[in-house]
Amino acid sequence: MNISFDGRTVIVTGAAHGFGRAISLAFAARGATVWACDVQEAGLQETARQGGDLVHVRTVDVSNRDAVRAFVQEASGGSRVDVLVNNAGGVLGQVGRPVEEISEDDWHAIFRVNVDGAFYFSQAVAPLMKAANFGRIVNISSGAGLGVSLTGIQAYASAKAAQIGLTRQLAHELGAWGITVNNVAPGFVRSNPTTERQWESYGEEGQRRLVQGIAMKRLGSPDDIAHAVLFFASDFAGWVTGQILSVDGGK
């Protein structure tokens, strides 16, 4: 399968490391003009360095609706965005705690990044995609959104489940304009400082149990997630929408 994105404009959120960087580089390697954003400036600059002239980076807080709209306006030139990848998210440094100890701010902070950000970006690109009668929106959720979070973070599992619901709803709303909306649900991948700390916290025995619980008996990589995104964004997936693809090595 030869997938090309020559002439396409792609927005990737959460692109300073991990999945977002791998996704940005994968699109650029196949000819797309990529607009990548994050709140971590240093990581963004490394993504830009690796991506070359086709990768443009901006510091954007995805929970700020006005900032999102300004970024989409710049990336699109006011006319076109072909692909949106809502990858920004995570646990924001939180750890698993009993439900009665969770503050209102901690609960809402995770929702703002994982759900509100995906909504604001989808809302901003929808008029452009409708005008073009074409578009691809790919949301990056998590196995936690389909089951339970390995970290025990209630807001994270809930936010990722909400993002999956948003995916299905937007697929039905936007399909008449040739816009597909799909979701990639990664399993555990060592892709950033947070997942490295999580991996180390399991110890040798916990790491062994985690890997043995995977059908393929190995962890995946950020490239495995990027490849699933490329499929959903490609012409090969033109009649695929509202779907959640678990990329987890088999459970």
User: Which tokens in the block code for residue 8?
Assistant: 């396409």
CA 176 to chain centre: 24
**156 included as an active-site residue:** yes
By C-alpha distance, which of 15, 2, 139 is closest to 75?
Answer: 15
Active-site position among 19, 71, 120, 156: 156
DSSP assignment of 39-78, as one string? S-HHHHHHHHHHHGGGEEEEE--TT-HHHHHHHHHHHHTT
Strand partners, 85: 12, 138
Quote the CA–CA distance of 72 and 201 in Å, as a whole number.
Answer: 38
> Contact, 220 vs 249, CB < 8 A?
yes
Closest CA to 218 of 185, 184, 187: 187
Residue 109 is inside which H or E element, if any?
helix 104-111
State the CB neighbour count (10 A cutoff) for residue 176.
9
Two structure tokens written together for 66: 């006005």
Residues involved in catalysis: 156
